[in-house]
Amino acid sequence: MVAVEAPAKVNLTLTVTGRRADGYHWIESLMQTVDLVDRVVLVRTPSEAGVRCVGNGVPVGDGNLACRAVRALQEAVPPPAGEWEGVTIRIRKRIPVAGGLAGGSANAAAALIGANALWGLGIGRKELARIGAQVGADVPFCLYGGTAVAQGIGDVLEPVPPAPPLAGVILNPGFPVSTARVYQLYDEWRLPLGEEGRARAMAEAVAAHDVRAVAQLLQNDLEAVTVRLHPEVAALRELVLSAGALGAVMCGSGPSVFGLAENPEHGEHLARRLAGRVPFAVACRFVSHGARITGFAQGPGGEGGTIVCADR
């Protein structure tokens, strides 16, 4: 049995820099993992072959990115003991689904790390990232985590050295937004493509722990689409700014919004002020890691096994 935590990501900048013939877009983004996490537990289920996913509010079976990731892993490497044994992946969701926070990709990254450990495969992170990229463009980032300038379709990563963590609050209006639809409308509405450079400027501001510069540089090209579809997103932005956030930006394709705080205490204060006024408001801090193992139990696994958790 292996327990893995899967941190959400926020985009401090997101610039759409080009369009590909296959419908994907080139982007440049400063991505950051935060301490809003899902818990992913992999349990051996020798009686049932195959990969099974269960959890609150997530698709079961192959519709689940965690399932797909483990299947991709099984296709990429030979089974350690002749054939693959069954595995159940239990997901305890805290990250809002289809919220622009890469929750599904984070679960996929966690499942890859968990399966690698469960079966003692010894696969390096670079190879896991290559396998994960087949499942989703954000999976490589969710494996590494921390702060990174992302290019390509979000899968080409340049890490930024860890700095003292910044903090804020994440708000979600309680409904999902389809990433594919937002990019489709970005094209249909002929919204302009942007220049590269902002993510690097943001990386410098984060590395320097310059909260004012970070606040000024926050920007997301996809906001123009999502706000038009869902004016609630603009309202969330205004709400967090009027509560005292230094700046605010939509995460990914939305609808979640990140509000930047002066420090962790200010982030907690903002979350308390906004709780009850929006469906989801949690304080968050930047973290310098991606999906990581928090508990491991040897033996046959199953419901009776014990997981020793390294934190919380």
Q: What residues are labeled active site?
A: 9, 138
Q: How far is the CB of 299 from ligand ATP (least distance, A)?
A: 26
- The residue with its CB nearest to ligand ATP is 104
Binder of ligand ATP out of 37, 41, 70, 98 (CB under 6 A): 98
- Between 104 and 173, name the residue whose CB sits nearer to ligand ATP: 104
Residues 69, 75, 77: CA angle, nearest 5 degrees: 105
Q: How far is the CB of 265 from ligand ATP (least distance, A)?
A: 28
Please give the Cα distance from 118 to 298 (Å, whole number): 9
Q: Is 87 helix (H, G, I), strand (E, B) or coil?
A: strand
x/- site string to ligand ATP, residues 248 to 277, per CB under 6 A? ----xx------------------------
Residues 58, 172, 26: CA angle, nearest 5 degrees: 80
Report residue 116 as tokens. Answer: 């690698």
97 interacts with ligand ATP by CB under 6 A = yes
- Between 99 and 301, name the residue whose CB sits nearer to ligand ATP: 99
- Between 25 and 292, name the residue whose CB sits nearer to ligand ATP: 25
> How many other C-beta atoms can be found within 10 angstroms of the C-beta atom of residue 167?
21
Subset of residues 23 to 42 that bind ligand ATP, contact rule: CB under 6 A: none
Sole window of 101-109, 163-171, 205-213, 257-265 interacting with ligand ATP (rule: CB under 6 A): 101-109
145 interacts with ligand ATP by CB under 6 A = no
Sole window of 94-102, 123-131, 186-194, 223-231 interacting with ligand ATP (rule: CB under 6 A): 94-102
Binder of ligand ATP out of 103, 140, 146, 168 (CB under 6 A): 103
Please give the Cα distance from 185 to 167 (Å, whole number): 32
Subset of residues 185 to 224 that bind ligand ATP, contact rule: CB under 6 A: none
Tell whether the torsion through CA atoms of 136, 155, 257 and 206 is positive or negative: positive
Please give the Cα distance from 278 to 256 (Å, whole number): 11
Q: Which residues of 145-160 are buried (b: 16+ CB within 10 A; e: fewer)?
A: bbbbbbbebbbbbeeb
Complete edge-to-edge strand list for the sheet that includes strand 280-285: 247-250, 257-260, 167-172, 280-285
Q: How far is the CB of 126 from ligand ATP (least distance, A)?
A: 21
Q: Which amino acid is present at 286?
A: F
x/- site string to ligand ATP, residues 53 to 72, per CB under 6 A? -----xx---xxxx------
Sole window of 90-98, 123-131, 183-191, 211-219 interacting with ligand ATP (rule: CB under 6 A): 90-98
Q: DSSP code of 84?
A: P
- Between 60 and 208, name the residue whose CB sits nearer to ligand ATP: 60
101 interacts with ligand ATP by CB under 6 A = yes
Q: How far is the CB of 8 from ligand ATP (least distance, A)?
A: 8
Q: Which amino acid is present at 96?
A: P
Please give the size of the binding site for ligand ATP, defined by CB under 6 A: 22
Report residue 34 as tokens. Answer: 């935060």
Query: Of the candidates 154, 8, 139, 26, which has an alpha carbon nearest to the alpha carbon of residue 72?
Result: 139
Q: Which helix (DSSP H) or strand (DSSP E) does residue 71 occupy?
A: helix 65-76
Binder of ligand ATP out of 51, 91, 227, 243 (CB under 6 A): 91
By the criterion CB under 6 A, which residues form the site for ligand ATP? 58-59, 63-66, 91, 97-105, 107, 136, 138, 179, 252-253
